[in-house]
Structure 1
Amino acid sequence: MNRSTSTGRGRRAGLALGAALASTVLCTAMSAAAPTDVRAGAPTGPARACPVVWFDLGETLVHTADDGSIGYQPGAAAYLRSLRLRHIGTGLITNVPPSWGATDAERAARLKKEVDTAWRDSAPFAWGDFGDRILTPRTDAERKPAPALWQRAKADSGRCRVVYQAETAQEVQVAGSLGYLPYQVGQPRRPAFLPVGLVELLRRRPL
């Protein structure tokens, strides 16, 4: 066997091993993050809108440019559309000033106004995908990375499994410690967002 053939086979073996390890890590994370209070065989489908995929907003789904304009992060609009078509619930967990309102609804309304005023994309931001699942700090003590918002989001998700996606390592680590399947977006050599097929597996994995 010549050296070039041996090197080629070694590289292919290395790629295969890397793919296997990635699969193992993702499956382990899903298993570890799965809540234990959901009964096997519980109803699934559009009515349940499970699992629920929670997101950070800034630099996760949207990007603020140097001139202050705001638009979708690359791939974010298509990713949200894929979740929507599969009837997978979504929510936002984002830090805004508590002074923006007395309730989540009031603070969300101010957030929408701020984003929409600076929006530059041709398609508007998909606020309708999130409904009333836009959670914001009621006090400065609730601001991420404090656990309060993730705890509230998990309670809001009922018996659904929960995912959290953000660009910040600290945030995904805290979410993972609270029972979420965490995914840090925008990392090199990884999909920009957690693949939708893996999210769908959360519906079918046995508990």
Structure 2
Amino acid sequence: MKRSASRAPVRMGLALGAALASTVLCGTAPAAAAAPVHGDTARGCPVVYFDLGETLVHTADDGSTGYRPGAASYLRALRSHHIRIGLITNVPSAWGKTDAERAARLRHEVDATWQGSAPFAWEDFGDRIRTPRTEAERKPAPVLWQRAKADAGRCRVVYQAETAEEVEVAASLGYVPYQVARPHRPAYLPVGLIELLGRSSR
């Protein structure tokens, strides 16, 4: 009974994300798209974080990597609306002493096996790539989400991933959650909804 009650906020967060997405799809998206957001102030919120593997990038059986269907166009849409994005992804902690070092190694590893005409849009993520400093920080431990949320300040934070477990953890920590690539739903959280979240940021 107690366990069920403790999971209620997580389920509520997941339901809220789905309900808001439905609202945008049913007619509020044009209004949301009226004014793009800019800058790093509270009015420039939110920040949209992603998992990497099987969320934005797919690894084929032969070891090659490339964008998942729709990922490249979705990142372009976020860029065109000046919505900041980041990654919260597991990599070996031995890849570097800082997020920047581990991100550089991650980029090298992905680029070495990349297939496709367009390279992965690393520049869009800036310094917002959060990776484990120790093996104990690996997801689903909450540390990476907590660090990313602290870095976002007053901005709303969104998290999109392919696994229900990660989405639930993010929801429990105050993120707007979205599980990607689900049947009968948009592959990613609609940009119009993300703009609405930005407009309602304090």
Same topology, TM > 0.5: yes
Q: CA deviation at 1:50?
A: 1.7
Q: Which of the pair has the greater relative contact order for Cα pairs under 8 Å at 6+ separation?
A: 2
> What are the ranges of 5 or more consecutive residues in structure 2 without an aligned counterpart?
1-14, 24-35
Please list, as runs of the form range in 1=range in 2, the aligned pairs for 1:9-28 lying within 5 A after superposition.
25-27=18-20
2:45 alignment partner in structure 1 = 50
1:201 alignment partner in structure 2 = 196
* Contact kept in structure 1, 2:17 and 2:176, CA below 8 Å: no
Q: CA deviation at 1:103?
A: 0.6
**TM-score w.r.t. length of structure 1:** 0.79
Structure 1 stretches of at least 4 aligned residues deviating more than 4 Å after TM superposition: 22-25
2:64 and 2:88 map into 1 onto residues whose CA distance is: 21
1:76 and 1:120 map into 2 onto residues whose CA distance is: 14
Alignment-mate amino acid for residue 81 of structure 1: R
Q: CA deviation at 1:27?
A: 3.2
1:167 alignment partner in structure 2 = 162
* Contact kept in structure 1, 2:17 and 2:178, CA below 8 Å: no
Q: Secondary structure at the match of 2:39?
A: coil
Picking from 102, 112, 118, the partner of 2:97 is: 102
Alignment-mate amino acid for residue 146 of structure 2: Q
Q: Secondary structure at the match of 2:48?
A: strand
Q: CA deviation at 1:204?
A: 2.1
* Contact kept in structure 1, 2:18 and 2:178, CA below 8 Å: no
> What are the ranges of 5 or more consecutive residues in structure 1 without an aligned counterpart?
1-21, 31-43
Q: Secondary structure at the match of 1:165?
A: strand
Instruction: Give identity over the alignment, percent.
Output: 72
Q: Deviations over 1:110-139 (max 9, x none)?
A: 000000000001100000000000110000
Q: Secondary structure at the match of 1:26?
A: helix
Q: CA deviation at 1:169?
A: 0.2
Q: Secondary structure at the match of 2:49?
A: strand
2:70 and 2:17 map into 1 onto residues whose CA distance is: 25
Considering only aligned residues, what root-mean-square deviation do their CA atoms show, in Å? 2.2
1:74 alignment partner in structure 2 = 69
* Contact kept in structure 1, 2:88 and 2:130, CA below 8 Å: yes
Please list, as runs of the form range in 1=range in 2, the aligned pairs for 1:88-99 lying within 5 A after superposition.
88-99=83-94
1:127 alignment partner in structure 2 = 122
Distance 1:206 1:66, change over 3 A: closer
2:5 alignment partner in structure 1 = none
**TM-score w.r.t. length of structure 2:** 0.81
